[in-house]
Structure formats: structure tokens, C-alpha cells
A and B are shown apart, each in its own frame.
Chain A
Amino acid sequence: MSTPITLSQVYKRYGSVEVIHGIDLEIEPGEFTVFVGPSGCGKSTLLRMIAGLEPISGGKLLIDGEVMNEVPAAERGIAMVFQSYALYPHMSVYQNLAFGLETAKLPKAVIKEKVQRAAEILQIEPLLGRKPKQLSGGQRQRVAIGRAITREPRIFLFDEPLSNLDAELRVQMRVEIAKLHRDLGNTMIYVTHDQVEAMTMADKIVVLRLGHVEQIGAPLELYNRPANRFVAGFIGSPKMNFIKAAISSAGGGQIVLDVAGQTLALPRTLAKGAPGDAVEFGIRPEHLSIEDGPGKVPLAEVSIDLVENLGGQTLLYTRVPDGQPLTIVLDGQHDLGPGSRITARFDPARCHVFDREGAVI
């Protein structure tokens, strides 16, 4: 069951304080959409407005074409998995899974069948008789998802469901949720502040900041073509390097920048701004190298402050000649130490330039 969701100029106000500033969003049927952004960006508030747990102050929320602004949470055909799991501590796992169905006054046989099916999907059948306090974090998370499944909702909402799990379990549950989406095919909205979760799970990412949508797109679209400095810095780990620069000249399909005491010619047209304007040059750490190769041009002579050897990758924390930091990620293992000087190189096609307001040039 896949259902489209439309948000049209949706606002949220607490008294005179506006926290969501007119969001427009289309979520396609069966799409896995991730709301991502730093703390306080409004992603959870937006999710709760869709769920019906927060009233909508302005605009329209449409689910399957129907306006849902005033429809109670239980009648929206939505199930939600909470960050804290929100399992009823006094009920067994079975009772937790069955509670929503009992409230809907379904026959006992039907309830049993649905609970068994959800338990099978999530492999929690041996846990049905236990109380939540007798479960591990991962098991509780499964039960919370199971509770959502039993209700057979049109839409699943996840509010940072993995943030209480350890790193290993988080990866495992991430895979399971993605698999669940593939198997059930429902529309799902997932809130996280972890951009790795967003990148790995989403069909579509909505990047939010201070109640505004910064960019909407597929994960790789956001990674390759960020609309602004905020998105560029937020998506990708380690985050993109930003180096202060100035436009030296523009024309003939190229821009010449002064970056870290070096003159760089980049193949792009200057849509706005003029020579002399201060800009920021952005390059992802994994798009830098220390070896020469086809298409690679030198960026700067850098000195290494710190080396982190991760085995499969080596992270170099360096400084360009004017002291600005530059992080480089290299594949494999490298015999480099702090204090060494190397030449950082990059592919001009993979760099980004942002104007003073942070918009991409």
C-alpha cells in the first residue's frame, strides 16, 4: 500500500514564534523520504505534524489527496516508531503489538494472526511473552517496528529510531528497515540527524535548517550538486573543506579564483557575482589526492597536523599556507607523519564555489 503525501505551505507556530516557515513538499507513493538536519531544524516537528501529534498552524497536509489537517492521528492511516521506542512497559510484547488492534475492536483471531505475521517478519516470535524491560535495545526497536506493522498503515513514520542503539546495531537495523521498506513498499518518512543514515536509506532527502527546506533531492544529487554551502557541509563525512577565496576573473567559460595564495582556473560560468568578490572554494576530502594523475591540478602545498590511519583509509588533517584547515581522505594506507609537507591535488570538475550568502556559483 503506497500513498502520496503533499505538504503545501505548511507552517508551525508556537504563539508568536514560527518554527516551520511554509514548507512545500511532494512525497511520491512508496518513497522512502528522509528528513535530515541539525538539532532544532524542525524535522521532528514536521514529522509530528504529519503524524497528527502537533496541530498544523497554516497550510495544507494532503495524504492520498485528502486534506488531513483536522483528522485525528489514529485516522490518518499512519504508524510511528518513536526515538524512545515508547513501548508500554506494563504490557508484554504480544500485548504491545496487539494494543492498537484491540483499540480498533478487531476480532481476537484476526489480532492473533496479524501479530504473528509481524512477529515473523521481524523474527521476534520468541519474545512475545516478555515485557519490554526484559529486552535489549535492538529487540525493543524491533518490537516498536512490529507494533507499527501490525496496524498495516498506509504510511510509516520513524523519528530517529536508531539513535539509542550502539554503532553495530545501528548498521544492522538500518539494513533491516531498508529491507522492510523494500518488502512492504509503503511510503516511509524517516527523521535523523545522521547524514550517513540519510544517504544510505533514502530515495529522497529533505535537508532542513531553522524550519526551512534547504534542498530536496536524491542522496547522490545532494552529494554531487549541493544547492548551497549548508547542504554541501552537511552531506558527506568527513564534511566538505571550505577555503576562503576571491574571484580573480571570469569569462570564456571559466572562473579564475585566488585560493590559498594560488590561482585556480575552474571550468564554469559565473552566473552571479563579479571579479573581486569574496567566495568560498569547496572540495570534499575524498576528492583530494596527493598523487598526480589525469585531470588533477595542484591546489596547495600543505603541512600535515595529524594523521588518522583507519586501515582502509587514511585521514590527513592539514593546513594550507595561509593556515586554513584542509582535510584529505586517501584510500589505503600511507606512510605519512605530522609535520610532513605534501601537495594536495584535486579534480576541478568536482569542486564547488559558493558566494558570500552561501549559494552555489
Chain B
Amino acid sequence: MDGNRGTEVVGLDDKRKPWVSLLLHALLIGASILMLYPLLWMLSASFRPSQEIFNTTTLIPSTVSLEAYPRGWFGLRVDFGTFFWNSLVISVLSVAGNVMACSLAAFAFARLQFRGRNFWFAIMLGTLMLPYHVTLIPQYVLFLNLGWVNSILPLVVPKFLAADAFFIFLMVQFFRGIPKELDEAAMMDGCSPWRIYWRIMLPLSMPVLATAAIFTFLWTWDDFFGPLIYLNDMRTYTVQLGLRSFVDSQGGQSDWAGLFAMSILSLVPVFFFFLFFQRLLIEGIATTGMKR
């Protein structure tokens, strides 16, 4: 029987004409190269001498040099370690704020009864449709009046106020999938709403919390616009602002090799964060889309 099944599979493969297979693979490989080329080119550029970077499209450098890395790291008035630290602080605080505040708001929308719940939920969903740039100026004026400009507060504090409607919505949907009998059993066990949230809902919501944490980290780490507006002092810059500082950094000249070297390094935390949490991320997306 196994043998028969094996024959059928081979038979199926044999039916596909070889040139179709070849064409499909060539297309896929071509598309992959197209996608990867900029990244590989940047990696290659970080090992080239500056004058060679824009003179060739090949990926193999004529000479491999690591000097762009220390030059990039220490080439600005403030070293890159500071930028990495600033980015890390903002990203970690944003993750903590978003996960905590959004899950609390989502718990309220999903489980608590309060006057105007549906109205506020609709308003919250409505904010999803507002482009960031529409609220930018009023927000800037607000933070300016609060004296928060040139600090990380405008970038971090809103995360602790459940300002990210997307994650609230994602978590509400997840919480609604958790059987209500668990809350009721906990109520019978003497739990307050806070204890139900903390001891029952949060431990059962790890996939969606991980999803929110990963996306918050990625989006915050990669954010250029927010830090550009609110951070003026170079010592408070994030990695993305640091990278921008390489342009025209040498009296009208730009240290492109240093820029690319630091760009490569800036990918490392994101890469490892994603690699570490990707299993939970996929599980989270899969679970939130399914009725349990």
C-alpha cells in the first residue's frame, strides 16, 4: 500500500513538465534575489572602501575592509552605543506600556459592563482610521506645552495610556475567545476583576501579548518620524536618527560605508527579537483568527 502511494506521488511529479518546473523555480529565485539584493548590497557596501560603494553594482567587494564599523560607531559626536541604548530604552518601555495598557483596555471592553461601552469601543475603532499625521500637530503642541519636547516622554508615555487602537482591538478579539466560564469560576473563587485579569486572562493570552510585544518593538525600533520631531539633542537620538546623521557628516561629505555598517548593526536586535519570538507571533496570529 505504501509502495502504491509512493508510486502515485512520483507519478504526480512526473506529470509536471520539466520546463514548467524550471520556469517556476527561475521566477521564484529571481523574485527572491530582487527582494534580497538591497540588503545584500548594503551588507557588501559596509565592507567596501567608501569610494567604491557607488561605482559598482556587484555584491562582491574588491577588498574586504572592516574599518567602516569602528569608524561608524565612533564617527559622530556621540558614539553609536548611546543611540542603541536610547532606542532600546524607548522600545522596551513602549513594549511594556503597550502590552500593559492595551491589555487592560481590551479586558474592559471584552469583559466588563459599563455605561457607554459600545460607544467608546466604536470611538476607539474610529481612531484606527485617523492618519498619524492628522494628530501630529495637536500632539506636538500638547507635548510642547507640557515641556516634554527633547525628551523620550512623548514617545513613551502615550504607550502607557492605551493609545494604540490596533492592539486593543486585537486583544479584545482574543479575550472574547476565552470562555467566560473561567471568569465566572474565578468570580465564585472570590476574584475581583483585577485578579481575574491578572491571574486568568493574562496567562491565557500569551500569544496575543507576544504579538503585540513584537510588533511594538519592531515599529518603535524602526520609527524615524517620531524621534525626529521630538528629540533635538544628539545625546537623546535613537539609532534611526543616528543613521540619518551620517549624511553630510563630514563637511558636505557623507560617510556612506559607516552608515551602511551601522545600518547592518541596527538590524541585529530586531533580527534576534523576531527570531526568538516568531513562534509565539505565528501562534498568536493563528489563534486570534480562530474560534476556539
> Which A residues have a C-beta under 8 Å from some C-beta of B?
51-53, 72-74, 78-80, 82-84, 86-90, 99-100, 103-104, 147, 151
Contacts and interface: CB of A to CB of B under 8 A. Distances in A.
A45 to B, nearest CB: 13
Given A84-B179, A86-B179, A74 B187 contact: yes
Given A51-B188, A103-B189, A103-B191, A88 B200 contact: yes
Contact of B185 (A52, A86, A90): A86
Contacts of B66: none
Interface in B178-209: 179, 181-182, 184-191, 195, 199-200, 203-204
B181 A151 contact: no
Across the A-B interface, the 8 shortest Cβ-Cβ residue pairs: A100-B189, A74-B190, A86-B181, A86-B185, A103-B190, A90-B203, A82-B181, A73-B187
6 contacts: A53-B184, A72-B187, A73-B187, A84-B181, A99-B186, A147-B189
B185 A82 contact: yes
A89 B185 CA distance: 12
Contacts of A72: 187
B187 A90 contact: no
A86 B182 CA distance: 5
A147 B189 CA distance: 9
B248 to A, nearest CB: 54
Nearest to B185: A86
- A contacts with B: majority SS: loop
A86 B189 contact: no
Nearest to B190: A74
Interface residues of B, number: 16
Contact of A79 (B184, B188, B191): B188
Contacts of B189: 74, 99-100, 103, 147, 151
Nearest to A48: B184
Contacts, number: 52
Contacts of B195: 103
Contact of B188 (A78, A87, A89, A90): A78
Contact of A53 (B182, B187, B191, B200): B187
B203 A80 contact: no
A88 B190 contact: no
Interface string B261-274: 00000000000000
Contacts of B200: 88
Nearest to A103: B190
Nearest to B206: A90
Given A103-B189, A104-B190, A88 B182 contact: yes
Contacts of A78: 188
Contacts of A104: 190
Interface in B56-84: none
B184 A82 contact: yes
Given A86-B181, A90-B203, A80 B188 contact: yes
Contacts of B199: 99
A271 B188 CA distance: 49
Contacts of B188: 51-53, 73-74, 78-80, 100
Contacts of A52: 187-188
Given A53-B187, A78-B188, A79-B188, 15 more contacts: A52-B187, A53-B188, A73-B188, A74-B188, A74-B191, A82-B181, A86-B184, A86-B185, A88-B182, A88-B185, A90-B204, A99-B199, A104-B190, A147-B185, A151-B189
Contacts of B181: 82-84, 86
Contacts of A88: 182, 185-186, 200
B188 to A, nearest CB: 5
A134 B199 CA distance: 21
A3 B181 CA distance: 25
B190 to A, nearest CB: 4
Given A74-B190, A100-B190, A103-B190, A80 B204 contact: no
A147 B190 CA distance: 13
Contacts of A103: 189-191, 195
A221 B146 CA distance: 77
Contacts of A74: 187-191
Contacts of B187: 52-53, 72-74
A129 B199 CA distance: 19
Name which of A51, A78, A86, A147 has the most chain B CB atoms within 10 A of its CB.
Answer: A86
B111 to A, nearest CB: 13
A63 to B, nearest CB: 14
Interface string B198-239: 011001100000000000000000000000000000000000
A78 B184 CA distance: 13
A146 to B, nearest CB: 13
B106 to A, nearest CB: 18
Contacts of A151: 189
Contacts of B179: 84, 86
A226 to B, nearest CB: 34
Interface in B159-195: 179, 181-182, 184-191, 195
A134 to B, nearest CB: 17
Contacts of B204: 89-90
Contacts of B182: 86, 88
Contacts of B191: 74, 103
Contacts of A147: 185, 189
Nearest to B179: A84
Interface string B79-106: 0000000000000000000000000000
Nearest to A91: B203
A80 B190 contact: no
A82 B188 CA distance: 11
A53 B185 CA distance: 10
